[in-house]
Amino acid sequence: MSPRLLVGHDLTRLNTLGLPCVADRFVAPGDERELQEVLKLAGHQGWPLTLLGGGSNLILPERLPGLVVQPAMADWWLEEQDDTVLVHAQAGVVWHELVMVLARRGLWGIENLALIPGHCGAAPIQNIGAYGVELREVLDAVHLLHLDNGREAMFTAADCAFGYRDSIFKGSLEGRVVITRLVLRLSRTPRPRLGYGDLAGRLGADPTPLSVAEAVCAIRREKLPDPAELGNAGSFFKNPLVAGEQAARLLAQSPDMPHFPQPDGRVKLAAGWLIDQCGLKGWRHGHFGVHDRQALVLVHFGGGSAGELLAFAERIATRVQERFGVSLEREPRLAGAD
């Protein structure tokens, strides 16, 4: 049976920013055979193709032409290898739900990435990370299909050219492939990573993957708004990387500035702190605002559009540039930008 094709489908509830958007056509294939069938149909019809995961790191325009595809394959399974366990998760698996069920099973590796919204298929695109851990550290393989011919391929972590919130899927392969499955390499040996923020202070002497994941959830809920209650895409700007010399000049002016030296000599700065120092935390203009507890998060109060959001974000970036000489880069992708 072919997947059901919906015409004029409302995507407002399928993006965490809650931006109003209508897709000319929408389909949610339930397996790889259906996905390949959909890709052939789009190619034959000449429809522009937009891939949609959980809609958590995405800015949607008011209309998306062509065909929007949201992979709905949502199975996962384990492959035991002594102390190591390979976790196979299809693209439609909800990331946070997977993190929690694996943490309950005592598997180490992704517990620090709890409560990151979205689906597994989107996780490698921006190399999701939180509390000192990035996806690339546990990723064993990515299975994908090429959009032009439906050809299957498998990439190792090295093939993905991962960087800070970056990957080959945002570079040379953007718009050319669809991720169908992840393979994660987790461990039964305790390997807690507690050096970020106040995470260690919330845990006892012998933390479990579950206790770490629950502590991360508690911290994130204290700082970040629930998209179900207030539209947002999580961190809207990347933490900027600047040259060591520039960081030194900024530290001379602001000794309390959070900064994180990198192996290549550059220094990562906290975008939220920079925005806060510009007096913008809690600032609202029109239908959008800067969250009053976390300046890195832009929130949608309803009724706004993608164009208004982008203009709002540009005003924030301009203020930071004028005060600190630091450029802020948007993290969420703009759907249909091609």
Which tens digits make up the pLDDT trace of 63-87? 999 999 999 999 999 999 888 999 9
Q: What phi and psi values does residue 89 have, to the nearest 5 degrees?
A: -130, 125
pLDDT of residue 261: 93
Listed residue (226, 224, 194) closest to 209, CA to CA: 194
In angstroms, rounded to a whole number, what is the distance separating the alpha carbons of residues 191 and 79?
20
Read off the DSSP letter of residue 198: T
The structural domains of the chain, ordered by start, are: 6-69 (3.30.43.10), 76-222 (3.30.465.10), 224-334 (3.90.78.10)
- Judged on CB neighbours under 10 Å (0-12, 13-18, 19+), 75 is exposed
Alpha carbon distance, N-terminus to C-terminus of the chain: 31
> CA torsion sign, 113 to 134 to 76 to 116?
positive
**pTM higher than 0.95, yes or no?**
no
Is residue 218 pLDDT above 80, yes or no? yes
- Is the pLDDT at 37 greater than 80? The verdict is yes
Instruction: Assign 1 a pLDDT band (cuts: 50, 70, 90).
Output: low
Query: Who's near 247: CB < 8 A, 6+ residues apart?
Result: 259, 266, 267, 269
DSSP 8-state secondary structure symbol assigned to residue 256:
T
337 pLDDT above the threshold of 70: no
Q: Which pLDDT belongs to residue 210?
A: 97
Structure tokens at 145: 């299909």
181-190, 192-201, 243-252, 281-290: the lowest-pLDDT one: 192-201
Which residue is it, tokens 């203020």?
A: 319
**Half-sphere exposure for 86 (CA within 13 Å, toward CB):** 10
pLDDT, mean of residues 315-322? 98
Mean pLDDT of 206-219: 94
pLDDT in tens, 109-140: 999 999 999 999 999 999 999 998 999 999 99
Q: How distant is the alpha carbon of residue 101 from its chain centre?
A: 20
Count CB neighbours of 63 within 10 A: 13
Q: How do residues 127-180 score in pLDDT, each as one tens digit? A: 999 998 999 999 999 999 999 888 999 999 999 999 988 999 999 999 899 999
Task: Give catalytic residue positions.
Answer: 165, 235, 331
- Cα–chain center distance at 140: 18
Percentage of the chain lying above the pLDDT 90 cut = 84
Whole-number pLDDT of residue 139: 98
User: Has residue 286 got a pLDDT over 80?
Assistant: yes
Q: Please give the radius of gyration of the chain, using alpha carbons only, rounded to the nearest integer.
A: 20
The residue whose two tokens read 């700082």 is 223
pLDDT value at position 111?
97
| C-alpha distances out from residue 41 to 47, 67, 209, Å | 8, 10, 44
Contact 186, 140 (CB under 8 A): no
Residue 14 binned pLDDT confidence (cut-offs 50, 70, 90): very high
The DSSP code sequence of 121-186 is GGTTTTT-EETTEEGGGTEEEEEEEETTT--EEEEETGGGT-BTTB-GGGTTTTTTEEEEEEEEEE
What's the full length of the chain, in residues? Answer: 338
Report the share of the chain in percent with pLDDT over 70: 99
Q: Out of 28-37, 113-122, 192-201, pick the least confident.
A: 192-201
Q: What is the mean pLDDT of the chain?
A: 94
CA dist., res. 26 & res. 33, Å (int): 17
